[in-house]
Amino acid sequence: MDDLHQVNTIIATTICAFFKGHPDTQIGTEEAKLLAKQIAQALDEAGLQISAVDPTNAPR
């Protein structure tokens, strides 16, 4: 993974945004961060890599 902190932040932000639309179920920021770390670790253990797209090779 290029930047693990950035990956965790993106995942945690997405988790918080998902739960924002579900008022009967809430998740705190710290819980979302812990969940994001677990998700990123599971993806890494599965052999998957998350990386930024190289803008010079991006499809147009």
List the pLDDT tens digit at each of the 60 positions of the chain: 568 889 999 999 999 999 988 888 889 999 999 999 999 999 999 999 888 787 887 676
Give the per-residue pLDDT at 45.
Answer: 94
Q: Please check whether residue 53 lies inside any domain of the structure.
A: no
Q: What is the distance between the alpha carbons of residues 47 and 51, in angstroms, rounded to a whole number? A: 13
Task: Please spell the DSSP secondary structure of 4-58, one letter per residue.
Answer: HHHHHHHHHHHHHHHHHT-TTS---HHHHHHHHHHHHHHHHHTT-------TTT-
Q: Please check whether residue 59 lies inside any domain of the structure.
A: no
Q: What is the distance between the alpha carbons of residues 39 and 28, in angstroms, rounded to a whole number? A: 16
Q: Please check whether residue 52 lies inside any domain of the structure.
A: no
DSSP 3-state of 2 = coil
Give the per-residue pLDDT at 43.
Answer: 92
Q: Please check whether residue 32 lies inside any domain of the structure.
A: yes
Q: What is the distance between the alpha carbons of residues 25 and 21, in angstroms, rounded to a whole number? A: 9
Q: Please check whether residue 58 lies inside any domain of the structure.
A: no
Residue numbers of the domain that contains 22: 4-45
**How many folded domains does the chain comprise?**
1
